[in-house]
C-alpha cells in the first residue's frame, strides 16, 4: 500500500485470458519495492494463478506448468533478496468439511499453490497457511476429520502446509492436538489467541509449544495484529421507516486495526525474547504499518528494536520512511 499503483495479481476476467505469467511480473516489481524498504516478508495473493483450478475453465488449468521458467526466475530473485514468501489460501479452502467435493476442490487449490512454491525452488519456510475450517456442530469431530484428510494429502501439500488457530472456532489447543496427530507445523496468532482461548492456556507456553512444531533448522513465523478500537459505521434498515440509516456500533475485537499498537507489540516481544521466529504483521495498511512500527520501536522500546537489528543510527532513514508514508493516498491504496 506504500505504492498504490502496484498490482499483486492479474485481475482480468476470464474473457481477457489472464495468466500467471502476468502476475509474476507484478510480483517481481513488488519485490523490488519491498527490498528498497528493507521488508523481507511478503504474502502472495491466493489468486496469483487466475482460474487455475476453476472446474469449468480447463483452458486455465495448465498455466502453472506453462510458467515454469518465470516461476524459477521469481524464486531466484526472492532468494537473492532474502525475501520470505508465503500463501494464505482463501477461506473457501476447507479440509475438514463433511462434503467430499469441497475437500477435493480445496486439495486441488493447495496442490496448485504448492506446485508454484516448488517451481520457485523456495525453502521450507515458504508455506501455505490455512485454518482448520468449520465446526459443523462438533468441534472434536471436526478436528478428527482434519486429521483424517491430512493422511490423504499429496506430499507437496503436506510439506508446504501450516495450520493456524483462529478467533472464533478453533483454538491454540485445537491445533496443538492436530499437530500431535499429524506433525503439521503451526502458526501462533497473537490476536486470535486473545479472542479465543477457551482452554485458558498460558500464552507464552502456547507460543513455545507452537514454535516447537517446526523442525530444527526451520524458522517459524507468527502473526501479529492489533484489534480495531474505533466505533464502526453500519447501514441498518429503520424498522419504522424501512429506510437505510447509518448507525455507530462498538468495535468487535476480532477486527484488525490499520496499524500495530506499539506498546502491545513491545510487551509481547519482551515476553518472547528467548524465542526465535519471524513476524508477519496483519494490519489493514500492510507495509505502511511496518514503516510506522519501526520508528515506534526505536522511540518506545530500543531494546526490542535492537533485536530486529535497528539502532539509533537508523532513525534518519526511518524518518524518511515515515515521511513517505504520510504522503501516500490511502483512499487510492484501498481502491
Same domain, 162 and 275: yes
Residue 8 lies in a domain: no
Residue 7 lies in a domain: no
Instruction: Decide if 90 contacts 48 (C-beta within 8 A).
Output: no
> What is the CATH classification number for the domain harbouring 30?
3.20.20.150
Same domain, 35 and 74: yes
Report how far residue 142's alpha carbon sits from residue 286's, in angstroms, rounded to the nearest whole number.
32
Residue 4 lies in a domain: no
Nearest residue to 22 (alpha-carbon basis) of 85, 71, 61: 71
Residue 330 lies in a domain: yes
What residues contact residue 161 under an 8 Å CB cut-off, 6+ apart? 110, 114, 127, 128, 130, 153, 184, 185
Is the overall model pTM greater than 0.85, yes or no?
Answer: yes
Same domain, 274 and 328: no
Same domain, 57 and 188: yes
* Structure-block grid coordinates of residue 17: 485470458
Residue-wise pLDDT tens digits, 54-97: 999 999 999 999 999 999 999 999 999 999 999 999 889 999 99
Same domain, 109 and 241: no
CA 109 vs. chain centroid, Å, equals: 16
Pairing of β 244-249 and β 232-237: antiparallel
Q: Helix, strand or coil for residue 59?
A: helix
User: Among 241-245, 259-263, 274-278, 295-299, which stretch is predicted with the lowest mean pLDDT?
Assistant: 241-245
Residue 3 lies in a domain: no
Residue 266 lies in a domain: yes
Residue-wise pLDDT tens digits, 217-237: 999 999 999 999 999 888 888
Same domain, 233 and 220: no
Residue 295 lies in a domain: yes
Sheet holding 41-44, edge to edge: 41-44, 84-87, 128-131, 161-164, 185-189, 221-224, 278-281
Same domain, 178 and 269: yes
Place of cell 447501514: 235
Same domain, 124 and 20: yes
Same domain, 210 and 323: no
Residues 102-113 have a mean pLDDT of 97
Report how far residue 317's alpha carbon sits from residue 296's, in angstroms, rounded to the nearest whole number.
13
Residues in the chain: 335
Provide the number of structural domains found in the chain. Answer: 3
293 has pLDDT over 60: yes
Domain that holds residue 239: 227-251
Nearest residue to 113 (alpha-carbon basis) of 98, 130, 101, 133: 130
Residue-wise pLDDT tens digits, 133-184: 999 999 999 999 999 999 999 999 999 999 999 999 999 999 999 999 999 9
Same domain, 23 and 54: yes
Residue 259 lies in a domain: yes
Amino acid at each position: 500500500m506504500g505504492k498504490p499503483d502496484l498490482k499483486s495479481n492479474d485481475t482480468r476476467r476470464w474473457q481477457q485470458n489472464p495468466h500467471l505469467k502476468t502476475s509474476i511480473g507484478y510480483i517481481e516489481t513488488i519485490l523490488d519495492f519491498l527490498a528498497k524498504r528493507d521488508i523481507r516478508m511478503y504474502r502472495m495473493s491466493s489468486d496469483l494463478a487466475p482460474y487455475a483450478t476453476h472446474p469449468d475453465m480447463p483452458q486455465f488449468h495448465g498455466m502453472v506448468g506453462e510458467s515454469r521458467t518465470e516461476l524459477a526466475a521469481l524464486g531466484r530473485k526472492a532468494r537473492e533478496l532474502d525475501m520470505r514468501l508465503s500463501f494464505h489460501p482463501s477461506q473457501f479452502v476447507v479440509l475438514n468439511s463433511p462434503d467430499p467435493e469441497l475437500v477435493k476442490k480445496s486439495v486441488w487449490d493447495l496442490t496448485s499453490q504448492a506446485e508454484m512454491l516448488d517451481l520457485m525452488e523456495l525453502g521450507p519456510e515458504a508455506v501455505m497457511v490455512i485454518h482448520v475450517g468449520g465446526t459443523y456442530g462438533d468441534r472434536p469431530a471436526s478436528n478428527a476429520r482434519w486429521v483424517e484428510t491430512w493422511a490423504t494429502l499429496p506430499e507437496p501439500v503436506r510439506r508446504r502446509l501450516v495450520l493456524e488457530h483462529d478467533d472464533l472456532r478453533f483454538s491454540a489447543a485445537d491445533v496443538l492436538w492436530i499437530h500431535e496427530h499429524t506433525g503439521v507445523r503451526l502458526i501462533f496468532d497473537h490476536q486470535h489467541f486473545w479472542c479465543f482461548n477457551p482452554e485458558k492456556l498460558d500464552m507464552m507456553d502456547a507460543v513455545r509449544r507452537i514454535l516447537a512444531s517446526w523442525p530444527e533448522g526451520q524458522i517459524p513465523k507468527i502473526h501479529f495484529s492489533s484489534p480495531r478500537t474505533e466505533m464502526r459505521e453500519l447501514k441498518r434498515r429503520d424498522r419504522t421507516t424501512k429506510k437505510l440509516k447509518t448507525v455507530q456500533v462498538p468495535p468487535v475485537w476480532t477486527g484488525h486495526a490499520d496499524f500495530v499498537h506499539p506498546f502491545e507489540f513491545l510487551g509481547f516481544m519482551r515476553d518472547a525474547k528467548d524465542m526465535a521466529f519471524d513476524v508477519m504483521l496483519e494490519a489493514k495498511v500492510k507495509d505502511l504499518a511496518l514503516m510506522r512500527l519501526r520508528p515506534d520501536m526505536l522511540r518506545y522500546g530500543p531494546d526490542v528494536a535492537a533485536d530486529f537489528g535497528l539502532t539509533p543510527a537508523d532513525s534518519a532513514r526511518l524518518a524518511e520512511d515515515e515521511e513517505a508514508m504520510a504522503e501516500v493516498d490511502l483512499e487510492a491504496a484501498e481502491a
